[in-house]
Chains A and B, each alone.
Chain A
Amino acid sequence: MSNPVSDLGRQTLGFVSALGNITRFGSDVVRNLFRPPPRIARTIEAIYDLGFLSLVLIATSGFAVGAVLGLQGYTTLVRFGAEQSLGAVVGLSLIRELGPVLTGLLVTGRAGSSVAAEIGAMVATEQLDGLRMMSVNPIHFVVLPKAVAMTLVMPLLSAIFIVCAIYGGYIVGVELLGLDGGAYIASLEDSVDFREDIVGSVLKAWIFGMIIGLISTHRGYTSAPNAAGVSRATTSTVVIGSVTILFSDYFITALWGV
């Protein structure tokens, strides 16, 4: 029955309609952003859940990644006698790429999946319908605070990841491999440009935060109202979220040179 061409056609149509759905959902979320009342308490609660509770994960992962970078960078640089530049190598790759991207992937797995599961469970237990019956818009009440929180916490988490990773690289390079601490920091300071690198890094993390916030809430919001629907929403958040982050990272880098 199925042939490859019609399969491809169907998949393309499916992809385009999915893209249309999430665009409509996104514009609905944005429109609600400007409607009163501001959901400040609920947003702060979401920041705590998604951001604060991700801190340990982000900090330890950052430290580990930095330590590995320190080790790998050192063994490569020492061949060229350039081990004094370890700080620059570790710092630049973290700030420009690895910090925002790895934080994005970790946050997708840790916070994005939990957002999708929570909203999916609310769909399954008719909590969103309950809100509708009280004339409370579930996008405004449930989705918006989580999407906004995700967008706000991502740059902060990414910055924490980067700081912990630079520290991890320092521990390995300076304490373990005996590099000069002053040189590590100096090469880092010399090579990092504030506008180009730092602002770009924050911008990237911020865009990833929007992507995760939108995908995770959308997957939960549109999930089938049963346990299987919740689990599918969670899985597809992680899969779609991760792939979207990696691809958009390429495009941001290629277009803006960040």
Chain B
Amino acid sequence: MASAQAATDGDEAHVVCESIHLGFGGRDVFVDLNCEMVAGHVTVLMGTSGTGKSTLLRLIGGLQRPDAGSIRVAGSELSGLAEVGLAEVRTRLGMLFQNGALLDSMTIFDNVALPLREHTKLARDQIAAEVRDRLDAVGLEDVEHLLPGELSGGMLRRAALARAIIESPEVLLCDEPFSGLDPPNVERIEGLLTRLNRERGLTVIVTSHHMASSLRMGHRIILLKDKAAVSGTPRELAMSEDSEIHDFIGADGAAYLKTLSDAEAAS
């Protein structure tokens, strides 16, 4: 309901990438890449390994500068900003790194509490309550006192997600939140992201190899291929005639179209 509303009245773009060029040591990763992520939408970034999904998230977070092109996040042009200005923009962003990027000298609790301790004056027990709430939401319990090194990869990434959402950002950048998770946890994280998007209007930008969940949760899908971006609704991509896209989406596309038509038939 709220998501339908966001989709109609909020067609304004939260993140816009225009004519991005980026190369590393003579090897081009992006050549004239254009894409945008709509406010209040879940946008899924897809593409085979090495096409630059993580790199695109780093560009949006201002951790990496493009060789040319413009990136606007919530109206701010990143290229003109120094580190202080970037820090300001980043207060609106939350980011889940592919490997969690938790501080390994601090416990999980301290890691998740860090943004609140740095930026708010909340009392100790309020912070503790917030941290427990977020850890609960990602399905972690009894890990607060552990160090990141004592957690599995999937647990780490969930703890990192808890840290990314603790300050209620406007835009959440998620790098592979599902990889290495078992089906119940994929469902839980997918549910959490969808819920944050619906209830709080959070703009979610998520990279994923998990085709079925991407088609289910994405309002739009951006497919990185040939150093540029192709975007469309899940339905458009699932019905695409392009053989490369067809091969990439595979059987999950057909299954997704079938559930759509079943749903239409039922209603």
A residues sitting closer than 8 Å to B (CB atoms) are 122, 125-127, 129-137
Chain A residues lying within 8 Å of B97, measured Cβ to Cβ, are 126, 129-130
Which residues of chain A are within 8 angstroms of B199 by Cβ–Cβ distance? Answer: none
Closest to B173 in A: A133
Known A-B contacts: A127-B102, A134-B115. Give 17 more (CB < 8 A).
A126-B99, A126-B101, A129-B97, A131-B103, A133-B61, A133-B90, A133-B94, A133-B95, A134-B90, A134-B114, A134-B118, A134-B163, A135-B88, A135-B91, A135-B119, A136-B114, A137-B87
Which residues of chain A have C-beta atoms less than 8 A from B99's C-beta? 125-126
Q: Given A133-B95, A134-B118: A127 and B87 within 8 A (CB)?
A: no
Within B102-119, the residues touching A (CB, 8 Å) are 102-104, 114-115, 118-119
C-alpha spacing A136/B101, complex, angstroms: 14
Does residue B93 face the partner (Cβ distance < 8 Å to A)?
yes
Are A127 and B114 in contact, CB atoms less than 8 angstroms apart? Answer: no
Closest to A141 in B: B118
Pick the contact of B90: A122, A127, A132 (CB < 8 A): A132
Q: Are B101 and A135 in contact (CB under 8 A)?
A: no
A121–B23 alpha-carbon span in the complex (Å): 25
Q: How distant is the Cα of A125 from the Cα of B97 in the complex, in angstroms?
A: 10
Nearest-CB distance from B124 to chain A (Å)? 14
CA of A129 to CA of B101, assembled, Å = 8
Q: A133-B63, A134-B115, A135-B119 are in contact. Are A127 and B103 (CB under 8 A)?
A: yes
Chain A: minimal CB distance from B43 (Å)? 18
Given A129-B63, A130-B95, residue A135 in contact with residue B87 (CB < 8 A):
yes
Specify which of A122, A126, A133 lies most central, judged by the most chain B CB atoms within 10 Å of its CB. Answer: A133
Give the one of A129, A132, A135 with max B CB within 10 A: A135
Chain B contacts of A133 at CB under 8 A? 61, 63, 90, 93-95
A127/B101 in contact, CB under 8 A: yes
Q: In the docked arrangement, what's the CA distance between A127 and B91, Å?
A: 17
Q: Which of chain A's residues have a CB closer than 8 A to the CB of B118?
A: 134-136
Q: Which residues of A contact B167 (CB under 8 A)?
A: 134
Contact B102 A130 (CB under 8 A): yes
- Name the residue on A nearest B62 (C-beta): A132
Q: Can you report 10 residue pairs joining A to B where beta carbons are below 8 Å apart?
A: A125-B101, A127-B104, A129-B61, A129-B63, A129-B101, A130-B101, A132-B86, A133-B90, A134-B115, A135-B118
User: Who on chain B is nearest to A121 by CB?
Assistant: B104
List chain B residues, Cβ under 8 A from A122.
103-104
Provide the residues of chain B in CB contact with A125, threshold 8 Å: 99, 101, 104
How close is B32's CB to chain A, nearest CB, in angstroms?
26
For B61, the closest partner residue in chain A by CB is A133
